[in-house]
């Protein structure tokens, strides 16, 4: 029995106390091929520290052996020592039988460092030099997929599928193609691919993607059916609630939309979209609760501005001007013309004409082409008594809506 065999037997017995000593004896007594086989076995079992000891010993004997260099590079990558890994890789030239492995390892290293263009070039070189090696087409497709470069990913996924390769390294190529079509905005084609997946391939994430795609093409009933089936399997799939709530909102079933939005918020209270949908659906079902929910969202999400605008608009359209002033009292409205317009209207309706005029003027540049804004501005300027500004606003309004007899009469009275 070789010392290498003793090492493996000891490990299989769960006794690691003398492994290092036995490895040292193997280095002294076994032939080089046996040592290499031992290193390969140890590496495959995740014992990279012990494997590295043997590979380094062999490298001293065979300094130009590409396979040894590649293994040491892999171990260096797993240890986070990319400089050392690249040093090993640089020793493997195009004439080496291990050059293909060199390209794969170096591509992985560069990708881990965020150097995607270099990684891409390494893999494309592999595609060119080794056209029969599926690993390069799969690796470049995955690189493009991870970069959201879906049109390029599709090219290589299709190459694999054309060769009859439906799965690689446990990854469904059909599912990757469907996801790439979705990411590329080819929704109808993506739906067709998803619908043809088998039960194993159509996992929870794939079910969600299919439901989302049905939503995007406005097939809300199919989206609802798909996502409700998903939630029967996994109640804690947070993004499914967002799409489901939106589906029901679009078919005007506010009760179900409000329900799913609230269920989703129980799982993820940071989702801004769920607060928006809950409010939009809830104001007709339970306005007080809907307002309570959106106020919570304003105090919870990272970017509350869209929620503030939604609630502010609600207060304006429902004549709740004091509530709107209270809402915006501690909120910086300087960079948001819509909120400034809402402030102006609220100040006007609560008889603070000076502040109304100040704010309506601040929003003028953004909304000078908006008839409703100009109508509000004219009403405020009439109350403030600023005749020159009122005349200018009326002239601007009539250039955009010359058939408004009331506005024309008001302008005529000023001449």
pLDDT digits (tens, 9 = 90+) for 384-395: 888 999 999 999
What average pLDDT does range 337-361 have in this prediction?
96
* pLDDT higher than threshold 80 for residue 14: no
Is residue 415 classed exposed, middle or buried when 0-12, 13-18 and 19+ CB atoms within 10 A define those classes? exposed
The pLDDT of 61-67, averaged and rounded, is 85
Q: What is the pLDDT of residue 94?
A: 84
Tokens 């609802």 belong to 224
Averaged pLDDT of the chain? 92
- As a whole-number percent, the residues of the chain with pLDDT over 70 amount to 99
- Determine the pLDDT at residue 398: 93
Q: How confident is residue 411, by pLDDT bands cut at 50, 70 and 90?
A: confident
Higher-confidence residue: 87 or 291? Answer: 291
- pTM, two decimals, is 0.78
Q: Return the structure tokens found at 370.
A: 């908006």
**pLDDT in the model for residue 194:** 96
pLDDT digit string, tens, across residues 193-240: 999 998 888 999 999 999 999 999 999 999 999 999 999 999 999 999
Reported as a pLDDT band with limits 50, 70 and 90, residue 41 is: confident
- Least confident residue range of 14-18, 171-175, 362-366, 371-375: 14-18
Range 208-230 burial, b when 16+ CB lie within 10 A, else e: bbbbbbbbbeebbebbbebbeeb
What pLDDT is recorded for position 401? 92
Residue 187 has pLDDT above 90, yes or no: yes
3 has pLDDT over 80: no
Whole-angstrom distance, CA of residue 343 vs CA of residue 213: 39
Contact 94, 106 (CB under 8 A): no
Q: What local confidence, expressed as pLDDT, does residue 46 receive?
A: 86
Strand partners, 172: 167
Tokens 């509350």 identify what position?
A: 304
For residues 241-265, average pLDDT: 97
User: Sorting pLDDT into bands at 50, 70 and 90, what band is 306?
Assistant: very high
CA distances from 144 to 127, 153, 161 (A): 14, 5, 17
218: Cβ–Cβ under 8 A, 6 or more apart, which residues? Answer: 250
Q: Quote the pLDDT of residue 341.
A: 97
pLDDT at 87: 86
pLDDT band at 150 (very low <50, low <70, confident <90, very high): very high
Instruction: Give 122-144 pLDDT, tens digit per residue.
Output: 999 999 999 999 999 999 999 99
Mean pLDDT within 365-371? 95
The region of weakest confidence among 14-23, 219-228, 302-311, 324-333 is 14-23
Summarize the confidence of residues 164-179 as an average pLDDT.
95
């Amino acid at each position: 029995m070789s010392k290498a065999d003793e090492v493996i037997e000891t490990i299989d017995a769960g006794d690691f106390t003398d492994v290092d000593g036995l490895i040292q004896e193997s280095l002294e007594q076994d032939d080089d091929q046996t040592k290499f086989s031992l290193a390969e076995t140890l590496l495959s079992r995740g014992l990279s520290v012990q494997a590295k000891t043997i590979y380094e010993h062999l490298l001293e004997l065979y300094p130009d052996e590409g396979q040894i260099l590649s293994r040491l590079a892999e171990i260096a990558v797993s240890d986070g020592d990319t400089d050392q890994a690249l040093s090993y890789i640089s020793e493997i030239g195009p004439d080496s039988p291990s050059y293909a492995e060199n390209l794969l390892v170096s591509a992985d290293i560069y990708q881990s460092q965020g150097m995607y263009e270099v990684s891409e070039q390494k893999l494309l070189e592999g595609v060119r030099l080794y056209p029969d090696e599926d690993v390069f087409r799969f690796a470049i497709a995955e690189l493009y997929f991870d970069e959201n470069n879906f049109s390029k990913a599709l090219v290589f996924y299709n190459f694999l599928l054309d060769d009859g390769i439906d799965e690689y390294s446990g990854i469904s190529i059909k599912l990757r193609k469907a996801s790439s079509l979705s990411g590329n905005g080819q929704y109808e084609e993506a739906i067709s691919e998803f619908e043809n997946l088998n039960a194993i391939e159509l996992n929870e994430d794939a079910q969600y993607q299919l439901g989302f795609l049905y939503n995007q093409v406005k097939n809300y009933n199919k989206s609802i059916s798909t996502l409700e089936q998903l939630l029967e399997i996994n109640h804690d799939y947070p993004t499914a609630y967002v799409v489901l709530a939106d589906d029901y909102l679009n078919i005007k079933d506010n009760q179900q939309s409000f329900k799913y939005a609230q269920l989703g918020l129980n799982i993820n209270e940071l989702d801004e979209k769920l607060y928006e949908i809950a409010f939009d659906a809830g104001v007709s079902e339970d306005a007080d609760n809907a307002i309570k929910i959106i106020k919570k969202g304003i105090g919870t999400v990272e970017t509350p501005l869209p929620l503030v605008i939604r609630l502010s608009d609600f207060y304006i359209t429902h004549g709740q001007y004091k509530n709107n002033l209270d809402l915006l009292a501690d909120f910086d409205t300087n960079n948001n013309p819509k909120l400034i317009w809402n402030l102006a209207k609220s100040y006007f309706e609560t008889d603070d004409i000076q502040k109304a005029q100040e704010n309506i003027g601040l929003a003028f540049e953004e909304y000078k082409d908006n008839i409703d804004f100009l109508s509000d501005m004219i009403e405020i300027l009439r109350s403030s008594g600023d005749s020159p500004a009122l005349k200018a606003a009326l002239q601007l309004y009539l250039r955009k809506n010359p058939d408004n007899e009331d506005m024309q009469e008001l302008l005529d009275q000023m001449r």
